[in-house]
Amino acid sequence: MTILLIYVAIFVGAFFAVKAVASHLTKRSDFTSRKTVTFGDESAVTANRAASVISVIAIFLIWGAFTGSSWSPIHAPGPFVGDATFTYTAETPDGQRDDGTVHVTVFPRDAAADAPEIEPGDGFAKDDAAKVAAWRSVLIRVDRNDELGRDEGAKVVAINGQAIAPGETVEVDSGEVTLTPKGTPNYKPEQGWQMEPVWLPPPEAVVGRVIEIMGGGYQNFTLAEHVGWSLFRVIAGFLAGALVGIPLGYAMGLSDWFRGWFDPIVEFMRPVPPLALIPLVIIWAGIGEVGKVILLFLAALWIMTIAARAGVSGVRISKIHAAYSLGASKWQILRHVIVPNSLPEIFTGARVAMGVCWGTVVAAELVAAEKGAGMMIMVASRFQLTDIVIMGIILIGVIGYAIDILMRMAENWLIPWKGRG
């Protein structure tokens, strides 16, 4: 919740800051800047690049600040580390009371420490020493060294002079003490605002993992091999799907028999998420490459079929008529009119199919695989290697985005007439 508020504050603050700076720095006078109506004019709204940059920086800054990253100039308060003390009051059944002091050393998670050495003190309640790692809690078994312990009926009744009963909590310096149902104090040092590395490692740990796995590999394969295999499966499955789907789509767009025959199949298979086919594909083809490629083939097939069918159906009848009255044969019309006319639709379909395939391959690898980006993060999660999991997620996102950008570039290059018919 706090993080969300901070994020919103950065969003709003950056908005005013950038607007203030921009209005002083640049006096644009292109056509758009002269528009008085921009609210509702879609063409006047382009992404503010400053906002994009600040957005990315803000995410990394918050990530760094809340994980105690050494890269971040600011930090959220971390967990308590150091020595803490509190006193407890024990009471015997006959009303005798005595105080004991507990010394706890809280050490950082990646370091080791010894409990402080202390004198037992006087009275029947002796002083105790304990150690605990940051973010963890420790049971202080006070009655073990007390002269009158639990066996004699002594109970802890107060912490730092505040009365306490089993199940209750008392705030102490740099932490809190909870009495367990059996009456043992449980000391929990202050957590601070930062995330534990097990939940969210700092960015430098993730980057460190990238470098480590690029060279040394993880689960018998280097990073490039994991990602490369995932990409190979996507490309193989997509190509197979396109190779079958596009001719099928053309046939469905050009022949009533094909349309009638395949309509029920396509319309049935289209809403079935490819992920739902994973179990069946594993049963049929195992968890090897063949199964993965079959799955991605099925993921791409229906999308490409429907795209090609739409491309054929979308051709203007006047273009076909024009080609016929210019003397073109059926084959020539297919080759010179229908195919080029359907390319924009097919490319849109290909972009969707590539996205779906990439998502499906990761999911399939999460379920079962010997290598691949999804398998890497799944295995890492079982060993609580959160840095590898985060690294994998970022990598999967970046690659998915890169695929889409490449497809868009290819589209602009190959079919410049798109949307200008």
Partner 1 sequence: MTALTIEDVSMRFELPNGASVQALQNINLDIGTGELMSVLGPSGCGKTTLLNIVAGFLAPTEGIIKLGNEVVHGPGPERGMVFQQGALFEWMNVRKNIGFGPAMKGAPRAETEARVTELLEIVGLHDFGEKMIYELSGGMQQRVALARCLANDPEVILMDEPLGALDALTREKMQSLVLEIWKKTGTTIILITHSVEEALLLGERLLVMAPRPGRIHKEYRLPFAEMGVGADLREVKHHDDYGTTREEILSMIWDMEEEIMGRSETAA
List of residues contacting partner 1 (CB under 8 A): 316, 318-319, 321-329, 332, 336-337, 340-341, 343, 415-417, 420-421
* Shortest reach from residue 317's CB to partner 1, in Å: 9
Q: Least Å distance between CB 316 and partner 1?
A: 6
The residue written with tokens 């390319």 in the block is 343
Q: Quote the CA–CA distance of 98 and 125 in Å, as a whole number.
A: 6
Nearer to partner 1, 164 or 333 (CB): 333
Cβ 278 to partner 1 shortest distance, Å: 39
Shortest Cβ distance from residue 331 to partner 1 (Å)? Answer: 10
Nearer to partner 1, 95 or 327 (CB): 327
The number of residues making up the chain comes to 421
The residue written with tokens 């069946």 in the block is 280
Comparing CB distances to partner 1, the nearer of 290 and 326 is 326
372's torsion region: left (phi>0), alpha (psi -120 to 50) or beta?
left
Nearer to partner 1, 215 or 419 (CB): 419
Q: What is the maximal distance between C-alpha atoms in the chain?
A: 115
Q: Nearest CA to 202 among 70, 62, 13, 67?
A: 67
The CA distance from 345 to 352, in Å, is 11
The span from the CA of 286 to the CA of 164, in Å, is 60
19 versus 316: smaller Cβ distance to partner 1:
316
Query: Cβ closer to partner 1: 12 or 322?
Result: 322
What is the distance between the alpha carbons of residues 367 and 390, in angstroms, rounded to a whole number?
Answer: 18
Report whether 311 contacts 249 (CB < 8 A): yes
Other CB atoms within 10 Å distance of the CB of residue 168: 12
Tokens for 409? 């570039």
| Shortest spacing between CB 338 and partner 1, in angstroms | 11
Which residues, listed in sequence order, are joined to residue 179 by a DSSP beta bridge? Answer: 185
Q: How far is the CB of 407 from partner 1 (least distance, A)?
A: 19
Which residues, in sequence order, are bridge partners of residue 185?
179
Q: Which is nearer to partner 1, 170 or 308 (CB)?
A: 308
CB of 365 to partner 1, least distance (A): 39
